[in-house]
Amino acid sequence: MPAITDLTVKAADGTPVDLSAYAGKVLLIVNTASKCGFTPQYEGLEALHRQFGDRGFEVLGFPCNQFGAQEPGDAAEIANFCSLTYDVTFPVFAKIDVNGTNADPLFVALKKQAPGILGTEGIKWNFTKFLVGKDGQVVERYAPTTKPEAIAADIEKLL
């Protein structure tokens, strides 16, 4: 299966970002939203980013407005919210779709590598998390209800 780090995504400003820049790192890829009940997880995601960042770990955030229209802002509004409300320093990319015909190829690949319950591939809600190993393959998929701090031991094992 192709590595996640073989794909290209868009930065918040729309410029292409080659995920090969993250090759050899452990990644936690998350679909995010600013107006969701799980939005306070930004704090835990940032804590993981700071705890493990100097050891080859990155959190990558991908805003998505597909669930309850909970990410209505444009790139500038999202960046401002993340920075001012949660002091987010990890990369937050362009707003994307994670399900449907317009799903970003990154999330198509993530879902294929790590299907959800009963083999379903669809993302159920904001803050679904995918842990990717240094080889660019998905190791684990976590539900939106899984708090970032609960993933720390799994990250530690991969570093």
64 catalytic, yes or no? Answer: no
For the chain, report the end-to-end CA distance as a whole number of angstroms: 22
Find tokens 């970032």 and name the residue.
148
Catalytic residue among 36, 96, 103, 109: 36
Tokens of 120: 């379903």
Q: Angle at CA 48, nearest 5°, toward 42 and 50?
A: 100
Q: How large is the C-alpha radius of gyration of the chain?
A: 14
Catalytic residues: 36
